[in-house]
A and B are shown apart, each in its own frame.
Chain A
Amino acid sequence: MTRTSKWTAFLLSACVPGAGQLAARSWTCLGWFLAAGLVATAFARAGQLVEGAGWLIPLQIGAGVALCLLSAEHAKRLLEKGYRHGSAVVNSQVTCAGGKGRQVEVVISLTVARSPESLWNQIRDLPRFLTIDPFHDQVTLMRDQPATGVDLVLSHNAFGRRFVRFGRILDWQEGVGYTFSDLSARGPRVGFPHVFMVRIEPQGEHSELTIRVRGRWTLRLVPVWLGRQWIRLVCREHARLLRKGL
Chain B
Amino acid sequence: MSETAPAESKLPLYCRRCSVDLPPTTEPACCLACGLQFDPARPETFSTHRGSSRWKFWLPGFLLAVTIGTLTYAGCLQSGEMGWSLFVAVPVSFGAILGYACRVQTWAYAVLGILAIASVVFALVSMSLAGIFCGFTLGVIFLVPTFVGLAFGVSLRMLLISFRWDHAWYFRWYIWLIAAAPLIGQQIESALSRREEIAVVQTSLTVDATPAEAWNAIMFYEDVEHSPPWLLHLALPQPIKSEGNKEKEGEVVRCFYNAGTISKRISRVEKHRRLSFAVVEAIMRSENYARLKDGSFEIEPVGDTRSRITLTTRYERKLRPGFFWEPIERKVIHTLHGHVLEGMRRKAEVPELKEKPIEPYHPPTGDQPMPKVAFHFEP
Which A residues have a C-beta under 8 Å from some C-beta of B? 1-2, 5, 7-8, 11, 15, 52-54, 140, 142-144, 150-151, 153, 159-162, 164, 166, 185
Q: How many residues of B contact A (CB 8 A)?
A: 20
B105: which A residues are within 8 A, CB to CB? 160-162
Who on chain B is nearest to A53 by CB? B366
- Select A143's contact among B17, B39, B147, B158, beta carbons within 8 Å: B39
Within B115-166, which residues are at the interface with A (CB < 8 Å)? 147, 158, 162
Within B27-42, which residues are at the interface with A (CB < 8 Å)? 28, 36-39, 42
Pairs across A and B, CB under 8 Å, 18 listed = A1-B162, A5-B106, A7-B106, A8-B106, A11-B106, A15-B147, A52-B370, A54-B366, A140-B44, A142-B39, A142-B45, A143-B37, A150-B37, A151-B37, A153-B16, A159-B107, A166-B17, A185-B17
- Are A140 and B45 also in contact (CB < 8 A) when A1-B158, A1-B162, A153-B16 are? yes
B106: which A residues are within 8 A, CB to CB? 5, 7-8, 11, 160
Are B44 and A143 closer than 8 Å at their CB atoms?
A: no
- Are A142 and B107 also in contact (CB < 8 A) when A15-B147, A166-B17 are? no
- Are A151 and B36 also in contact (CB < 8 A) when A160-B105, A160-B107 are? yes
Are A11 and B366 closer than 8 Å at their CB atoms?
A: no
CA distance A142 to B38 in the complex (A): 6
- Select A164's contact among B16, B38, B162, beta carbons within 8 Å: B16
How near does chain A come to B373, taking the closest CB pair, in angstroms? 9
B39: which A residues are within 8 A, CB to CB? 142-144
Binary flags per residue of B8-34, CB closer than 8 Å to A gives 1, else 0: 000000001100000000001000000
Asked if B184 lies at the interface with its beta carbon under 8 angstroms from chain A, I say no
Who on chain B is nearest to A161 by CB? B107
How near does chain A come to B105, taking the closest CB pair, in angstroms? 5
B107: which A residues are within 8 A, CB to CB? 11, 159-161
CA distance A37 to B280 in the complex (A): 44
Asked if B235 lies at the interface with its beta carbon under 8 angstroms from chain A, I say no
How near does chain A come to B63, taking the closest CB pair, in angstroms? 23
How near does chain B come to A182, taking the closest CB pair, in angstroms? 14
Who on chain A is nearest to B372 by CB? A51
Asked if B350 lies at the interface with its beta carbon under 8 angstroms from chain A, I say no
Apart from the given pairs A151-B36, A153-B45, 19 other A-B contacts in the complex at a CB distance below 8 Å? A7-B106, A11-B106, A11-B110, A15-B147, A52-B366, A52-B370, A53-B366, A140-B44, A140-B45, A143-B28, A143-B37, A150-B37, A151-B37, A153-B16, A160-B105, A160-B106, A164-B17, A166-B17, A185-B17
Are B370 and A142 closer than 8 Å at their CB atoms?
A: no
B28: which A residues are within 8 A, CB to CB? 142-143
How near does chain A come to B188, taking the closest CB pair, in angstroms? 28
CA distance A25 to B314 in the complex (A): 49
Within B341-376, which residues are at the interface with A (CB < 8 Å)? 366-367, 370
Across chains A and B, which 7 residue pairs bring their CB atoms closest together, nearest first? A142-B37, A54-B366, A160-B106, A160-B107, A151-B37, A161-B107, A8-B106
How near does chain A come to B145, taking the closest CB pair, in angstroms? 13
Who on chain A is nearest to B30 by CB? A151
Who on chain A is nearest to B31 by CB? A151
CA distance A185 to B158 in the complex (A): 30
A8: which B residues are within 8 A, CB to CB? 106
CA distance A52 to B372 in the complex (A): 10
CA distance A75 to B61 in the complex (A): 30
How near does chain B come to A76, taking the closest CB pair, in angstroms? 13
Who on chain A is nearest to B327 by CB? A47
How near does chain A come to B36, taking the closest CB pair, in angstroms? 6
Are A166 and B158 closer than 8 Å at their CB atoms?
A: no
Are B158 and A142 closer than 8 Å at their CB atoms?
A: no
CA distance A160 to B112 in the complex (A): 14
CA distance A142 to B35 in the complex (A): 12
How near does chain B come to A232, taking the closest CB pair, in angstroms? 25
CA distance A7 to B105 in the complex (A): 11
